[in-house]
Amino acid sequence: MKNKNFETQAIRTQIERSQFLEHSSPLYLSSSFVFEDSEDMRASFAEEKEKNIYSRFSNPNTSEFVEKICQMEGAESGYAFATGMAAIYSTFAALLNSGDHIVSCRSVFGSTHTLLTKYFPKWDIQHSYFDVNDIDKVESLIKENTKILYAESPTNPAVDILDLEKLGQIAKKHNLILIIDNCFATPYLQNPIDFGADIVIHSATKLIDGQGRVLGGVAVGRADLIEEIYLFSRNTGPSLSPFNAWVLSKSLETLPVRLDRHCENALKVAEFLEAHEQVNWVKYPFLKSHPQYDVAKKQMKQGGNIVAFEVKGGIEAGRKFIDAIKLCSLSANLGDTRSIITHPASTTHSKLSESDRLQASITDGLVRVSVGLEHIDDVIADLEQALGS
């Protein structure tokens, strides 16, 4: 039975119980599975039956995790990866041939940018970038050999919003595969498939784990495309470990309640920063001042947990602010219970040239706050004392 409500899906989608009738899903730390006899073995390898053979192909724990994400995203099928980047790389590699072309938003995760600019050209896979505010230009970038349209929304780290419905219409009209990195929204806040995405990718390392423990990734979507991604991955080995899948499946049970609080806290931080005289600007999808506020409201349930802002006084003032932080962590991760402050220009996006960074709206003074689950008064007090010093 397919569970209808998100919270119930998150909690009640489970692998079959073993003979021990455990309540919580057990952990299947087994690299391989046995066959009844030679016929069972032959039929399993011939894929005449759905059966676990080897944990690089599938495992009960990874299957449970994938099934949950598929239900939450409204996807036909999926495959789980060791990291978000393994999911992104494998999806591109499985679906593209040399000579193919990608149209992508310029504001993508730093390592995705490195894949597009440094590695794919080695196999003659080229790309064209469009800016977040230039969706109308997308069609002019499409060439005869364009196969994939790629974007994140909200973007990392500037939390810009792309109109998923528009991207879906363009992809459909030009017969492109639309791939959306839905990491910042999670399946709870936004379902890109509803707007025409063919594949949705998550770094499960972030809000899906939500507690800063394990790495993971997942790609879900159209069954015919996922079959290609599955076959590529089962042969190349970027698969998620059963242990991490077990952790992530459990994490999904609390995703809705965690996200409700993350979003409530983030909105309070955004409102506090917007009113502060030492702050140049603040961007948060559910602040009325956000340039794409209407689009965010249309496609997201809440604004997420990331707030981007700039301290007055340029890079020096930004550094001073970060050095004065006491409670929040200085770390490159995001989506943790612990609030985290990052300076993207010197860390996650330092491999981009300054002009590439500016075109992706990452100014030198931009600070990214991943708002956690501490008492919000304590987080705001920390930001306040750091801004005042």
Ligand X SMILES: *Cc1c(COP(=O)(O)O)cnc(C)c1O
Residues near ligand X (CB under 6 A) are 83-85, 109, 152, 156, 181, 183-184, 203, 205-206, 215, 217
Phi, psi (5° rounding) for residue 154? -60, 150
> Closest CB to ligand X belongs to which residue?
84
The Cα–Cα gap between 218 and 216 comes to 7
In the bound state with ligand X, the residue whose beta carbon lies nearer, of 68 and 368, is 368
Shortest Å distance, C-beta 129 to ligand X: 16
Shortest Å distance, C-beta 164 to ligand X: 15
- Among residues 4, 2, 1, 8, the alpha carbon closest in space to that of 252 is found at 8
The Cα–Cα gap between 8 and 2 comes to 10
The Cα–Cα gap between 283 and 107 comes to 15
Shortest Å distance, C-beta 276 to ligand X: 26
Shortest Å distance, C-beta 157 to ligand X: 8
Structural element, H or E, at residue 104: strand 101-105
Do the bridges between strand 177-181 and strand 146-152 make them parallel or antiparallel, or are there none, so unpaired? parallel
The Cα–Cα gap between 104 and 327 comes to 37
In the bound state with ligand X, the residue whose beta carbon lies nearer, of 209 and 382, is 209
The one-character DSSP state at 17 is P
Shortest Å distance, C-beta 199 to ligand X: 14
In the bound state with ligand X, the residue whose beta carbon lies nearer, of 142 and 245, is 245
Tokens of 302: 């809440």
Shortest Å distance, C-beta 108 to ligand X: 8
Shortest Å distance, C-beta 299 to ligand X: 16
In the bound state with ligand X, the residue whose beta carbon lies nearer, of 208 and 387, is 208
Shortest Å distance, C-beta 261 to ligand X: 20
Residue found under tokens 């040239």:
353
In the bound state with ligand X, the residue whose beta carbon lies nearer, of 183 and 387, is 183
In the bound state with ligand X, the residue whose beta carbon lies nearer, of 204 and 373, is 204
The Cα–Cα gap between 254 and 64 comes to 15
In the bound state with ligand X, the residue whose beta carbon lies nearer, of 68 and 279, is 68
In the bound state with ligand X, the residue whose beta carbon lies nearer, of 184 and 246, is 184
DSSP string over 336-377: SSS-EEE-GGGTTTTTS-HHHHHHTT--TTEEEEE--SS-HH
- Among residues 282, 362, 365, 369, the alpha carbon closest in space to that of 325 is found at 369
Dihedral angle, C-alpha 45, 49, 53, 58, nearest 10 °: 120
